[in-house]
Amino acid sequence: MSSSVYVGLSGQVALDRRMTTIANNVANMNTPGFRAEEVKFDSIMSKAGPREVAFASDGDTFLSRRAGPVKLTGNPLDVAIKGDGWFGISTPSGNVYTRDGRFQITENGDLLSSAGYPVLDPGGSAIILNPAGGEITIGNDGAISQGGKQVSSIGLFAIAEDADLARFENSGVVPSKPAEPVADMTSNGVRQGFLEGANVNPIMEMTRLVMLSRAFESAASAIEQGESTETQAIRQLGASS
């Protein structure tokens, strides 16, 4: 089989993986705090023949860190992040970080994420409030006050730029390096009554999906043409011999 067929197949595999990530991004475009998944492709060089042939790799996936749109909800337990920080939540799998600020309070006063995991303070401890302590106010620095007194603080955590992010459920991430509490609260902070949406651009994603579908069809056509050319060559060589 000619190398052109293998090149076409490698291209189809790469395109299929990209289409899968785009479909997942579009499906979660209304999920608060969702981080879009991107794919980085490299070429693999082969020297099996007299010429080098470039094949498309399967692709390396990564989660985009760009911020999503922030909208006003008016809910005092909705909190959006300003800057590059992440909320910390405690799960059975360990600490997870998220930009989804939909919080809730249990009858016991536990502050939980939308998925029911404890929200962490800057020291990494679960936040416990007084359910009967009155109105909850959250300052720009994450300080939580009830009855005019500070009772706790929402932790913001920084994830190193070179850390790889693995997805946890829908909006959570697990970094390959330990996250550290955010020290600079001037360029970072929180906004009470706001919520950050997914960082998915639906128009751009749908445009990419159309382009990839056409590219997939072109790759399939190239494979068919390569197979046809090879078949004709075999017939002609067989007839001449």
Domain ranges of the chain: 3-64+200-240, 70-196
Of 65, 54, 22, nearest to 163 by C-alpha is 65
Strand partners, 174: 166
User: Checking DSSP bridges between strand 143-146 and strand 149-153, what pairing results, if any?
Assistant: antiparallel
CB atoms within 10 A of CB 95: 17
Side chain identity at residue 192, one-letter code: Q
Reported confidence tier of residue 233, pLDDT bands at 50, 70, 90: low
Mean per-residue pLDDT over the chain, rounded: 83
Q: Looking at the predicted structure, is the pLDDT value of residue 240 above 50? A: yes
pLDDT in tens, 149-193: 999 999 999 999 999 999 999 899 999 999 999 988 888 999 999
For the chain, percent of residues with pLDDT exceeding 70: 73
pLDDT in tens, 48-68: 444 454 444 455 778 999 999
Reported confidence tier of residue 141, pLDDT bands at 50, 70, 90: very high
Q: Looking at the predicted structure, is the pLDDT value of residue 121 above 80? A: yes
Q: Looking at the predicted structure, is the pLDDT value of residue 145 above 60? A: yes
Distances (CA, A) of 129 to 140, 144, 222, 228: 18, 9, 63, 71
The rounded Cα 161 to chain-centroid distance in angstroms is 14
Report the pLDDT value the prediction gives residue 55, as an integer from 0 to 100: 42
Report the pLDDT value the prediction gives residue 9, as an integer from 0 to 100: 54
- Coil, helix or strand at residue 198: coil
